Amino acid sequence: MTVRRTTAFSAAGLVLTRDLRLAVRRPSQLIQPLAFFAVVALLFPLGYTPELGKLRAIAPGVLWVGALLASMLALESLFREDASDGTLEQFVVCGQPLVALMAAKTLAHWLLTGLPLTLMAPVLGIALGVPVEAMPGILFSLLLGTVTLSLIGAVGAGLTLGVRRGGVLLSLLTLPLAVPVLVFGARATELAISGESLMGPLYLLGALAVLGITLAPLAAAAAVRIGLE
């Protein structure tokens, strides 16, 4: 009898499909960050000014801070249920490298929040007076930036596993670490709106994403191991 061996890669694939399937069956969790992002962005015309010219000037900041907070909001549920029903413990003891499983969970989080948020940003951009020509730039910068946000967030979510009411602490831990993404992302968006070349900040966002992909799953795996002790 031949036993089919599960490799780290296929195990990660299973975790990814499981997370995606769970999310599709509970669409409210998918929609909430998006609705939050929309509400935050639409509060600015009401709280500041309806003049599109002025809104255009603050649009990069609004879009990026909104995306950052929405991505953060979705982080709380990243490990919480898996920790309470014992799934995370099974991940740790199943013999597959936890790093690969954490990378899969982070990828799932990005596919379920980062990617939809990115796709929604142009729509909100229009409401903030952003010209249509800037949309590809905004899409690309958010696409790269949200990857890093999900990776940083996974580390934070792992660290706050054992903390009661960890939501506020989670933001306190992850927001300062997300500063570089915010700086470069908002700058890329600003350049895109003014019609200039945004390759400089895009390269930097890409570098941050690569660094995050290399190191964050390791830190997240260490954090989850500690959280489950």
Partner 1 sequence: MNWTWFHRLGSPPHIYRIAGTLTPWFAWPAGLLIVAALYGGLVLAPPDYQQGEGFRILYVHAPSAWLAVMIYGVMASAAAVGLIWRMKVAHAVAASCAGVGAWFTAVSLVTGMLWGKPMWGTYWVWDPRLTAQLILFILYLGYMGLRAGIDDLGRADRASAVLAIVGVVNIPIIRYSVEWWNSIHQAPSVMKMDRPSMPLDMLAPLLMMLLGFTLYFAAILLVRLRAEILRRERTASWIREVLR
Q: Is 128 in the site for partner 1 (CB under 8 A)?
A: no
Q: One symbol per residue from 46 to 85: x for binding partner 1 (CB under 8 A), - otherwise; what is it?
A: ----------------------------------------
What does the H/E/C string look like for the chain? CCCCCCCHHHHHHHHHHHHHHHHHHCHHHHHHHHHHHHHHHHHHHHHCCCCHHHHHHHHHHHHHHHHHHHHHHHHHHHHHHHHHCCHHHHHHHCCCCHHHHHHHHHHHHHHHHHHHHHHHHHHHHHHCCCCHHHHHHHHHHHHHHHHHHHHHHHHHHHHCCCCCCHHHHHHHHHHHHCHHHHHHHHHHHHHHHCCCCCHHHHHHHHHHHHHHHHHHHHHHHHHHHHHHC
Nearer residue to partner 1 within complex by CB, 42 or 58: 58
Could you tell me which stretch among 84-92, 93-101, 108-116, 203-211 binds partner 1 (CB under 8 A)?
203-211
Q: Is 195 in the site for partner 1 (CB under 8 A)?
A: no
Could you tell me which stretch among 21-29, 85-93, 111-119, 152-160 binds partner 1 (CB under 8 A)?
152-160
Residue 39 CB, nearest distance to partner 1 (Å)? 25
Could you tell me which stretch among 24-32, 92-100, 111-119, 208-216 binds partner 1 (CB under 8 A)?
208-216
Q: Are 188 and 195 in contact (CB under 8 A)?
A: no
Q: Is 139 in the site for partner 1 (CB under 8 A)?
A: no
Sign of the C-alpha dihedral computed for residues 49, 52, 54 and 56 taken in this order: positive
The binder of partner 1 chosen from 71, 187, 206, 209 (CB under 8 A):
187
Q: Is 183 in the site for partner 1 (CB under 8 A)?
A: yes
Nearer residue to partner 1 within complex by CB, 31 or 93: 93
Question: If binding means CB under 8 A, how many residues of this protein chain bind partner 1?
Answer: 28
Dig out the tokens for 20 from the structure: 């995606």
Q: Is 25 in the site for partner 1 (CB under 8 A)?
A: no
Binding residues vs partner 1 (CB under 8 A): 155, 159-160, 162-164, 166, 169, 172-173, 175-177, 179-180, 183-184, 187, 204, 208, 211, 215, 219, 222-223, 226-227, 229
